Chain A
Amino acid sequence: MPDRDRTAPAVHGDWHPGLSIRRRLTLLLLAGAAALSIILWLLVRDVANEAAQDTQDGILGAATRAVADEMRGGTDGVEVDIPFMAFSILGAVGEERVFYRIDVSGETVTGYGDLPLPPAPATLGPRFLSATYRGEPVRVAVIDRTLLADGRSVDVRVALAQGSRSRDALAGGLSNRAGAVGIGFFLLAAAMAVLTARSVTRPVRNLARAVARRGPGDLRPVDRPVPSELVPLVDALNGFIARLESSANRTETFIAEAAHHIRTPLSALRGRAEIALRGATPETRDHLRAILRLTDATARTAGQLLDHAAVVYRSDQAGQAPVDLARLAEEVVRTARPLAELRDIQVTLHHEGWDRAIVRGDRVPLEAALRNLIDNAVKYSPEESEVVIDLTGTQPVVLAVCDRGRGLSAPAADLMPRFARGDNVTDVIGSGLGLSIVEAAATAMGGRLTLMQRPEGGTCATLTLPAA
């Protein structure tokens, strides 16, 4: 089967696969808003220009027509009279310059002979031209007429020009206002874009934060409400978590069963070795004693593997009940004393004033944790020394196990993982599982384990657990 998952992911026309959704969304919305703003401005500018031009053309055309209408053919040529109102109306619109030109039979009879004219052919209505005349932008309107003068038809052309300054100012003012509106619109849209992008990506951030906040052993499915777009992601995540959990469970079960299966033959082996010891020759006695010691150590490791499996497995289950740590510590100390007394090590428990230290959790892993802590302390203590267990405080509950042993050879964090052991304990048989069991139990209960070198020699292992 071809390994499809490991081929490089295809980039489907996106800018950068790594660009954040929020930034991408913001940029897209901003680009859209900018485009809309510019389109709005261009449209309004065009409309304003057109409207201003139409207004000017309307007045200019009417004035030109008024002049053209006053021209009459007669028996002695064409009579020209410029109506006062024609110019007066133009004068009323802004303070524009006015130029004019009246041509009869192609000859300029009055006005400004060099006024530019539109090239288009004659029509009855006015034709318009934008031009520059005497250093100023002007709009020229032209009307062509044919008059009968002295029995002959005479071509007459009337051109009237008006400065475009106020028209440009009007259109410019409108366009500027549209520009300001466009900028305002864009700023508003930009703010909306940022808010929208933030709001859209918030569920993703919240989900990521919630998953990241989980403890290392927390394999519960994600059940927080998410938008429908994120449901497939959460479903996939939950499926993955479920597979992970069942895989972890299988592993722990396997370890537990393996440990159990090892312990039973070990007991038989120990029995046989003890029997053989009774009738052994001095030469074989040492070998048999070594076999017994190794058998004990292996049985202990198997027990710890069981403990570990129990702690890890049970911490995933939600077995939560109030446990009195003071009573539990007393019981564990009581069972640890016989072994300690063999090496003249005194184990004392101080919990003065803290008769009841109630924590919330599972009794089994907690007991395993205490047992491992105290066993460790005894194991690494020299003969005729003292192991002190101090229970102080109930909010949170702090339990310190201090010995006069050889201390720590490495930072505490390096000693916590499974099968990790210090360089200074190679002469003592151990599995390296003890501290990892304690830590797993502490973490499962929401507490923590700290190791500290005592200045006067020895180690203090402190278990801090939240009170119930």
Chain B
Amino acid sequence: MRHAYLASGLMVLLSLLPLATRAYEVEQDVTFEGGGATLLSIISTTDTDVFAPIVRAFQALNPGMDVRYVTAATTQVHKAIEAGAPFDLAISSAMDLQMKLANDGLALSAPGTPGWPALARWRDEVWGFAQEPVVTGIAPGAFAGQPPRTRSDLIAALRDAPDRFRGRVGTYDPGRSGAGYLFATQDARQSETSWRLAEVMGGLHPRLYASTGAMLADLASGDLLLAYNILGSYAAAEGTQVLEMLDYTHILLRTALVPRSSSNPDLGRAFLTFLLSPAGQTAVAEAGLPPIDETALARAPHLRPIRLDTGLLVHVDPLVRGRFLREWTNAVRQP
């Protein structure tokens, strides 16, 4: 299943392309052939094997369309669109960077779907198509008794057994990962407890990662006992045990926008409309990404969707970002 797209798709590795002309770095560049009449280019932060079934479902409804799917880190997706790369759709889990693109007028309006939940859209430019809880992954038997359900409990548990957790706690490095930076800034905004947690983790010589996948791998291998702030859907796909903190659990939105630099914006809009349609949402769910579900959020009071609005722009500011990273590093990197 994981590499099924190879049968019908064509995979071109980045290493074969000239790098010097690019202002951004990509990880994978794959073209799903569908008849070759038109070409839709997507740049995305979501792994190709996760997204492939969604592209195929779209191609089944729109025959005769090739889809080029390029994956890159969140900051690189942002850079690509800022530099005017001719992608027809930009998909990213870094909501703040997507907001920045739209706010600066680099996104085109797209019809989307009428009645789409307000929390999952900004104007008709940024559309959230999947919601993702930001969870804590734990290795089996990481905690002696009941696993902690709040950050305060977690702080207490870490303090109670520092030797057990030393060097075996992992989290995102906000300096390297856009999603990690978003999670850290949202944590800081949400409560002071997160700073205390950062300091406690800092005392345990934490390992810092650039992706959820790497943390999951280390959890599986037993190198990590605890991975704080990882994407719930990836963890669920790996069968990792996760904790949704009851004091608050942020909900990240995977968002898509049609860049102003698109060479074929109507194709981008068509794909976006498909993503938000019932068929598209079903495909999103089947790909392992939780579709937008407002009622599920309303039922669970600890779930806090990260607000998709201009408030996110604060943390994109380079001065604010530098200051935050400095403070965060001071808290986590203890001598």
Contacts and interface: CB of A to CB of B under 8 A. Distances in A.
Interface string B299-317: 0000000010111111101
Contacts of B123: 95
Contacts of A95: 122-123, 309
Interface in A26-54: none
B320 A91 contact: no
Given A97-B105, A135-B105, A136-B105, A82 B311 contact: no
Interface in A247-305: none
Contacts of B319: 80-82, 102, 109-110
Interface residues of A, number: 24
B318 A84 contact: no
Interface string B83-123: 00000000000000000000111000000000000000011
A447 B310 CA distance: 95
A263 B29 CA distance: 138
Contacts of A81: 319-320, 323
Contacts of B312: 87, 91
A97 B103 contact: yes
B105 A134 contact: yes
B311 A88 contact: yes
Contacts of A136: 105
Interface in B189-223: 189
A110 B317 contact: yes
Contacts of B103: 97-99
A110 B318 contact: yes
Contacts of A98: 103, 310, 313
A97 B310 contact: yes
Contact of A87 (B104, B105, B122, B311): B311
A85 B190 CA distance: 12
A96 B310 contact: yes
A152 to B, nearest CB: 20
Interface in A78-137: 80-88, 90-92, 95-99, 102, 109-111, 134-136
B321 to A, nearest CB: 10
Interface string A305-341: 0000000000000000000000000000000000000
Contacts of B104: 97, 134
Nearest to A80: B319
Nearest to B105: A134
A175 to B, nearest CB: 23
B197 to A, nearest CB: 19
**Which of B104, B313, B323 gathers the greatest number of chain A CB atoms within 10 Å?**
B313
A88 B311 CA distance: 4
Nearest to B118: A95
A87 B189 contact: no
A92 B310 CA distance: 8
A96 B314 CA distance: 15
Contacts of A80: 319-320, 323
B122 A82 contact: no
Interface in B276-335: 307, 309-315, 317-320, 323
A82 B310 contact: no
Contact of A91 (B105, B310, B317, B318): B310
Nearest to B186: A84
A71 to B, nearest CB: 11
Contacts of B122: 95
Contacts of A91: 307, 309-312
Given A95-B123, A98-B313, 6 more contacts: A81-B320, A82-B317, A87-B311, A87-B313, A96-B310, A97-B104
Interface of B: 103-105, 122-123, 189, 307, 309-315, 317-320, 323
Interface of A: 80-88, 90-92, 95-99, 102, 109-111, 134-136
